[in-house]
Homo-oligomer: A and B are copies of this chain.
């Protein structure tokens, strides 16, 4: 029998609140009997969301917390003054071994600060990075950092590359994933100092470094892991969201323009829906905080139950593949080889 995987869920965060999170928990527990989910939050609220459609008793538990980290709380306030918050207690559960991972849809800066303080980074990693799965023509790409670190040095980019490579290898089962460094051209002379200095570090590293890639490569089958500074990665990710929204806006407008267009839209609906499903951002919800001594996954604040369930599944995937200990082991090898 496989071991029980345990995930602590911050049940008080996210725009959709506890109801959405409980729905996501139900979805996951309906699919898997090897998972235990610990909901951290207001017990009455959680129970009322569970309501008439009970969850399997032996697969969930509730850890009470009445304090919430808000989106407006600074990381410092969340860390120092909200030590009983649902977010903090969820991370604490990972630290004390009661949970293998935690998932929160709350304030990113607060979650990062708390995770880093409570769990600490793996030896050899200065700063954790935020990594996410991005849909691409060939399948998907892992991209990091997406905003935890601005002004990343060459050495940091190198650490992101190591972590991203291990993640892709573990969760996708790809051997020697292709790692590219995000730049504004493929020639050696292009780019800023950090990128130029990171290139030789990566070329000498154990990762399968394929050189510079550009923004458009993220969405192709040219690369498995895209490494970049957090400022650049965050802008790139949000730009993508903006393009996708604009495209969908224009598409809807065209299919509503005339009566005939509306009729055609009805006919084309299943095709458009199948298309929409393939690039559905909910399928990609859940960003991993890599480089910590534990698995922490951040859900989008606006996640619905489908999206939040996806974030839980990402946490389960990383626990299942022991991503943090693989990162620690690989760094150990790399550091002792250096």
Contact = CB atoms under 8 A, between A and B. Distances in A.
Contact of A246 (B151, B192, B268, B279): B279
Given A236-B235, A279-B247, A241 B265 contact: no
A220 interface: yes
A240 B237 CA distance: 10
Nearest to A217: B242
SS class, residues of chain A in contact with chain B: helix
A132 to B, nearest CB: 14
Interface stretch (A8-16, A89-97, A270-278): A270-278
Contacts of A234: 184, 214-215
A115 B254 CA distance: 42
A243 B182 CA distance: 16
Interface residues of A, number: 55
Interface stretch (A224-232, A282-290, A298-306): A224-232
Given A230-B184, A246-B136, A271 B264 contact: yes
A48 interface: no
A193 B192 CA distance: 15
A164 interface: no
Nearest to A236: B239
A267 to B, nearest CB: 5
Contacts of A242: 215-220
A255 interface: yes
A74 interface: yes
Interface string A135-169: 11100000000010011000000000000000000
A235 B232 contact: yes
Given A74-B189, A192-B151, A193-B151, A250 B279 contact: yes
Nearest to A146: B184
A272 B240 CA distance: 21
Nearest to A76: B189
Given A219-B245, A237-B215, A238-B216, A192 B271 contact: no
Contacts of A147: 184
B251 A275 contact: yes
Contacts of A237: 215
A74 B187 CA distance: 10
A250 B135 CA distance: 11
14 contacts: A137-B249, A150-B184, A151-B193, A184-B235, A214-B235, A215-B239, A216-B239, A219-B242, A236-B239, A239-B240, A243-B247, A244-B247, A254-B271, A265-B271
